[in-house]
Structure 1
Amino acid sequence: MDSDELVETLETAGLSPYQSEAYVTLLELGAASATQVADASDVPAPRIYDVLESLESHGYVETYETDTLKVRAHSPGAVLDDLRDRADRFEAAAAEVERRWEQPELENNGTSIVKRYRTVLEQAEAFIEQAEYQIQASVTVEDLERLRPLLVAARERGVSVRLSVHTSPDGDPPEESLLAGACLEARHRRLPAPFVVLVDREKTCFCHHPDSSEQYGVLVNDSTHTYVFHWYFLTCLWEQWETVYSDYADSFPVEYVDVRQCVRDLRPLLSAEATVRVHVEGTDVETGETVSVTGRVDEALFAGAPDAPDTALRLSARVTVVVVTDDGKTLTVGGWGAMVEDVEAARITVEDVEAPPGTDAGVFSRL
């Protein structure tokens, strides 16, 4: 770096042009009089004393008097510390600019397009940390290893976690030790897939598979767009793939965060004339107020032919649980985005099943 570049750099670090000129000149001269510094630099003679005084107040130089005022550069230790501290702050500022550019703050009902997978993964970690009741994720084994501590913490908070772990067609499923404690159920997709994390029906993180020709990510904080990603997860990443891990309890209560999954399990029990008691937490569709009721399931319904298979495609139509509450009211309970039912359920807990003789009510065939 030549003298001119050093002067410019010191100006960038916070010195004035005259301070930078005088200091670089003094480094070259060693000890010198104020007049000599002015003559050897571009600092005007009438300004040299003010400039040297300001440099001394910053610890860059020291002045002393013999027959004339002389000045010499301090040991550079303090100066170097100052410059390195400024460099660290510039580096931190550059990193923060990059972070804010790549990861804009998501407002409610907001969607952002980002360029890097790392940004999507970091936002997914933040969403998982905030999860209250539901996580659906499509991940590689490597993604799962990174996210596992957060998923374990979510399960300990009572969050329902379902994982679709994708590998190459000849890849092995994840080890049970990696899944235990991190999810309620896991399925193995033997086909590369995008990275997807859906949280609490509101938040989505999506990024193409690394080998895709399209390379960008999508961050969503919006229930409508997240609903679309939810159906992509169910139909492409979940429904047809084999279950490789399950942590469902063999006894009651059994919790559901998806009314379609609940209906699929309840219909055989109701057909066998079992008595099913549930607790429903959700929102009054008309008023938006929180609802919490307990009662008996009267019907579990979905549109279509009565004898059609209970596939995810069929369950994409209207699905309703009819509950007779303990105080005698009849309520219709729908799922995510319910509009015609009385209640949009966030969680349905099957508290007990009283089965007629010969019916095994403890066996649930879950979605």
Structure 2
Amino acid sequence: MDQPGLFDTLGLTEYEATALAALLRLGQTTAPNLAEATGIPKARIYDVLDSLADRGYLKVIPGRPKEYRPYDAETVLERAVENRRQELESFEQQIADERDAFLAEFGSADDEAAAPAAELFHVVDVGEPSESETRRLYHEATEEAYVLTKSFEYLDAVRPSLSSALDRGVRIRALFYHPDLLDDAEQRVQAEVVEQLRKQLSAVEFRFSTGRLPWRGTFVDPSMEYDDGEAIFLVEEPEVPDHMRQAALTENGSFVAGFKRYFEIVWDHESVASV
């Protein structure tokens, strides 16, 4: 009955993991049928299914008897990410509610003499760490997100958070390398990604730079008052494979504003809308 791997990461009980795995394989069914198929006690099956429905992993179909239909596997993963994001937001609100009392007792956030100087940059490895930071930027974006990329080959890794940003009304623009600047393999990846954007994420605006870009990355919510924004980027080093590289992160408002100025110049004067 044990369902290891990703089901553990989702924080499901053994019965919940077993029920969800069975539903994803079997499709729509009733609670008694699912209990019979999985060995989950009939006295527990309704509570298990209600818990999965509350998390957004399945839909309850009214009737006599009512039935349970799982969402597709991709939607389950997206809901899991969204659930975790909401948990984080709830935690952040709890911290905010206690902030004033905590600082009053243990020290002021305005005590600049005791505070260390903020670092201009810090780094993470390229791959899952950099993708995780990119997802965070999309989740935290409130107005704008900009992408500088060769082929956006990591789209699948950030798709749920990017989609969430679009749903919140965040404007997202992407500057791709022109295909003529890519090798054959990169051209194929880029063509597939562009097709996905056109069919599934049509709110994402994109163009193709006519020249090589000096860096790649994502930056969000730049302010021309230089007091807001965040970015993750890496300087182009064609001779160094990505898996041996690190990406830089910054919350320096002036730096992020500079990114925006550069992006808009290329977007307006050194890019084309289609290839």
After TM superposition, is the score higher than 0.5?
no
Between Structure 1 and Structure 2, which shows a larger proportion of helix residues?
2
Normalised by the length of structure 2, the TM-score is 0.43
Larger radius of gyration: 1
Between Structure 1 and Structure 2, which shows a larger proportion of strand residues?
1
Normalised by the length of structure 1, the TM-score is 0.33
Higher relative contact order (CA 8 A, sep 6+): 2
